[in-house]
Amino acid sequence: MSQNKHIPLLQVSNLGATIRNRKYLFFHKKIDILKNISFTLEQNQTLVLIGDAGSGKSTLLKILNNPYISHTGEILVHGKPLRDYERRDRISFIQLLSSDYENAVNPHKRVNFILEQPLKLNTDYSAVQRDYRVDQMLEYVGLSSTIKYNYPGFLTSNQLLRLAFARALIMEPEILLVDSNIEKLDAQLRSHCLNLLMDCQQEKKTALIICLNDIGLIKHIADNILVLSHGNQEDYGNAKFIISKPEKEITKRLIQDYNNEYRIRPER
């Protein structure tokens, strides 16, 4: 009797994307910005993306967040193509925390509208339930419920980042994509953000795909690492093994660069 085949939460196979180079008037050359990206992600796992600027990390996250961006290959969630799900299902599967969090929300809408709108469009919650959920989410990210009557322009950078977290988490996604420079935040806010991510995993079993440079943080939170260079997948596997015994030259160089940047001595 054959056993049922395990189906991962997320399976990406041979993902690719191209853009047209419009340098020449009559000849538009296609340029690969992602090529043959393949990995799996399980519930409660953390996949860290590392690579130089322009390596394709943000592009990969954008395509995962919006499968209607032109691409090749497959993106399966629970074994089914992500494109085939209804919008309200997709939005509950995957959410993106953008690196441009200060400009990621509509400046002409109050905080309560920004947080309530996804619930209004994608759930059957009543107005009272939506309002309660907004208050609950603001408290969860460390903001007062009174802030919901403010416009984003009146919020500090610290508060805007917390608001971005609240908006990304309010639909309780199974997968959270984090394209934010957490390492560049001040120590208190960085610690709060990391605690939020860890709480999501412990309480909701949320899976994370996150861009990080700090090897200390990567060692602390990563299950697997995916190394990108010029849109190509150069390395992929267990985080502890790759960091302690990198085999690919690009991986060795990135780890050394990150060690130098964050002044972390490699483990012996």
Q: What is the tens place of the pLDDT at every residue in 47-101?
A: 999 999 999 999 999 999 999 999 999 999 999 999 999 988 999 999 999 888 8
* Predicted local confidence at residue 214, as pLDDT: 87
Q: Is the full-model pTM beyond 0.75?
A: yes
H/E run at residue 241: helix 239-244
Fold of 10-96+166-262: Rossmann fold (3.40.50)
What burial class does residue 200 get, using C-beta atoms within 10 Å of its C-beta: 0-12 exposed, 13-18 middle, 19+ buried?
buried
Contacts for 175 with CB less than 8 Å, ≥ 6 apart: 9, 10, 41, 64, 77, 93, 94, 95, 206, 207, 208, 209
Q: What is the tens place of the pLDDT at every residue in 139-189?
A: 999 999 999 999 999 999 889 999 999 999 999 999 999 997 787 788 888
CA 17 vs CA 30, 83, 178, 191, 244: distances in Å: 10, 16, 20, 35, 32
**Domain segments of the chain as ranges:** 10-96+166-262
Which among 78, 100, 74 has a CA at the least distance from the CA of 89? 78
Give the whole-angstrom CA distance, residue 192 versus residue 187.
Answer: 9
User: Does the pLDDT value for residue 5 go beyond 80?
Assistant: yes
